[in-house]
Amino acid sequence: MKRPWLAPLALLAHLRADAARSGAAHRPRRLESVALARAELDYAACTETAAKFLEAPVSAADAVERAVDFCAVDARIIDHNYACAHFRQAIERALGLSPEDTTFDSTAFCQATEGYMLDIRGAARVPRTGTGSLLDFKISPLCSRAVAASFAPAEKLDAASVPDFWWTMCMNQDCAHFLPSRTRWCRTQRQPTHSVMVCDAARTYALGEVRSRAADMMSPDEICAMYGAFVRAMGVDVDAYEHVMHEGRVSKVPVPDDKARTLLSAQLVNDASAHYIRDHMSSPIE
């Protein structure tokens, strides 16, 4: 049986290193086969769902708007569309990685979003940070020691420097991202555990966090806690994305209280209705 939707998935897999996709370099071959099979199913589910709100190529902004409107209306039973805010964050980041003039139909949309969701899982595999999946990530004691050693003998780091600090530490990966000619000083060599996109996302998240902080300096424990919060935030967004595009359940998306959930649901549905009316208004008679 022909499966035409596998063609872009194969291209996606070819363009991404195994480690960046799903940590394949650190797993048995059987588990990698299971991961690839899961990716195929996820891509098929995504394109089937995306075809419901993307009938023709549109800009990234329009694709996000239509996707969120679909989420608002499709998931509104018992106000479950509270996940739509996290869904928006996930797809905005995913589509934002493409050139500004890129247009998205259901195929292009899923190539971008499924690739992003695979890549961002690497946030839980950055060396010396912690263990567990995105949603169950636990900071390791090694994190504070590694962070402290990075700016010793100082005991704290200027908060404004933390975003760039995390980008550098994320990129280092025990020399995995450096050219061999520049790693003679490094005693550890291994396949990359995550993509550069993870490091960029960590820096962006940290920028937002330090702007809202009152303290000027951060301790190693605080810096590591921020990274743990970043990983879990990415997990919630991925979880929300899968709820919408893979028709899965929301397992750990934060649930607002009843009043807030009802208000959010009404706002999302009203926005979707307004967008529908705007897009289907008859042209004025001249």
Instruction: Kindly report, residue by residue over 230-239, the tens digit of the pLDDT.
Output: 999 999 999 9
pLDDT of residue 230: 97
CB 145, CB 246: distance < 8 Å: no
Cα distance between residue 134 and residue 123, in whole Å: 7
Compute the C-alpha angle 29/31/37, nearest 5°: 105
Name the nearest CA neighbour of 31 among 42, 21, 44, 22: 22
Token pair 């995390």 is found at: 166
Is the pLDDT assigned to residue 187 strictly greater than 50? yes
Cα distance between residue 217 and residue 194, in whole Å: 28
pLDDT tens string 131-147: 999 999 999 999 999 99
Q: Where are the beta strands (DSSP E) in the chain?
A: 58-59, 103-104, 130-131, 138-139, 157-158, 217-218
β-pair partners for 104 = 58
pLDDT of residue 189: 52
pLDDT of residue 212: 85
pLDDT tens string 29-43: 555 566 677 788 899
Mean of the per-residue pLDDT values of the chain:
80
β-pair partners for 103 = 59
Tell me the H-state helices in 75-105.
Answer: 84-95
CB 39, CB 232: distance < 8 Å: no
Residues across the chain: 286
